[in-house]
Structure 1
Amino acid sequence: MTRILGRISAVSAGLALAGAAALVAAPSAMAAPSTLHNFNSNQCLGILNGSSSWGAHAIQWGCNGNDDQKWSFQGAGDIYITLTNSNDGECLGIDGGSTAQGARAIQWGCNGNDDQKWHMVYNGPQTGTYRFVNKKSGQCLGILNGSNGQGAEAIQWGCNGRNDQSWYL
């Protein structure tokens, strides 16, 4: 009986440690930049006109392989990452650091502010998609009005499980 309890304890401890590691582990950095495809429109997250200006709007556009549609994922501490644009090295954040629903996603010089930190949450195996939850506002990265239109703006909105808030790599 003691032997069985010892084995159960050892297995339980191992499972608890494995589970804790899965909960704590956040992507520290992806090996190569990746495109973010919107699950609703199948278009890619990019920067309006491929601009390298601070404050340029993030939009969805037909995937074309341009650098403004490529993003590097960098660990930002805890469970958060920053999304750095390959075109100019600027970070995806929220205009003015706003917490308002519908505030635009923009690129800005990486500054470590919470509006540039995102929690990448796996939606599950059915879609294989992720949602990006902004640290400052607690809202999800999505597309204005759930649009399928080319050039539609990326915004933050209360997380609602809609397809425009789901992204695949």
Structure 2
Amino acid sequence: MALGSRTAAAVLGLGLALTVGVPTAGASSSRPYPDVISLGSNTGHCLEIALGDRTNGATARQWDCWYGTNQRWSVAAGPAGSLVNVSTGKCLEVPLGDHNNGTTVRQWDCWGGPNQKWDWTHIPGAGYTLRNADSGKCLEIALGNYSNGAPGRQWDCWSGDNQDWFPLG
């Protein structure tokens, strides 16, 4: 079994009970996981804002999961469909109007725009894809990049392992 597959299986196994159904913003009873989650990826890392940087425009990146507040995302604290970083209080977004593959995702003050909304789609036997409501592209880590610090970015949705995300409570 390849490293990526083993990592995916481990993350999936840990979060299996958390990955049933389609997440939506709003009442926690509509989600099969808590209001505050860490987003684990097939790389075995979690999506974070570095050291809780509160600057608008700070890049979201992957790092070893340690479940600090900079790796925790609230699905209930902000506008519907948003992911709010617990440490900074800012929303995960793609720069408004940027529909280019490879554009890095970042945090910004929450304002409820479509570039800050993420549509979750459950992938049976895997995790979820997170599609940006403005660009229509999916959140991913560059294919094959297992390094701490690799940025989150948007890319055409293609159901690749690097676009699978797992809500970890």
Query: Structure 1-normalised TM-score?
Result: 0.76
**Letter of the structure 2 residue corresponding to residue 100 of structure 1:** N
In 1, Cα distance between equivalents of 2:143 and 2:27: 31
In 2, Cα distance between equivalents of 1:104 and 1:149: 16
- Deviation for aligned residue 1:101: 1.1
- Deviation for aligned residue 1:144: 2.7
**Letter of the structure 2 residue corresponding to residue 82 of structure 1:** S
| Structure of larger gyration radius | 1
Q: How many residues align?
A: 141
Instruction: List per-residue Cα deviations over 1:75-132 (Å, max 9, x = no partner).
Output: 755xxx10000001100001354111111100000011111001011011x12x1110
In 1, Cα distance between equivalents of 2:53 and 2:153: 18
- Deviation for aligned residue 1:51: 0.8
Residue equivalent to 1:156: 154
Residue equivalent to 2:41: 38
Match of residue 55, structure 2, among 53, 56, 64: 53
Match runs of 1:11-22 below 5 Å: none
- Deviation for aligned residue 1:163: 0.8
Considering Cα pairs closer than 8 Å and 6+ residues apart, tell me whether 1 or 2 has the greater RCO.
2
- The alignment-based identity, stated in percent, is 32
Gaps of 5+ in 1: 1-21
In 1, Cα distance between equivalents of 2:68 and 2:101: 29
Residue equivalent to 1:102: 102
Query: Structure 2-normalised TM-score?
Result: 0.76
Match runs of 1:49-128 below 5 Å: 49-74=51-76, 76=79, 81-124=81-124, 126-127=125-126
CA RMSD of aligned residues (A): 2.1
Gaps of 5+ in 2: 1-20, 29-33
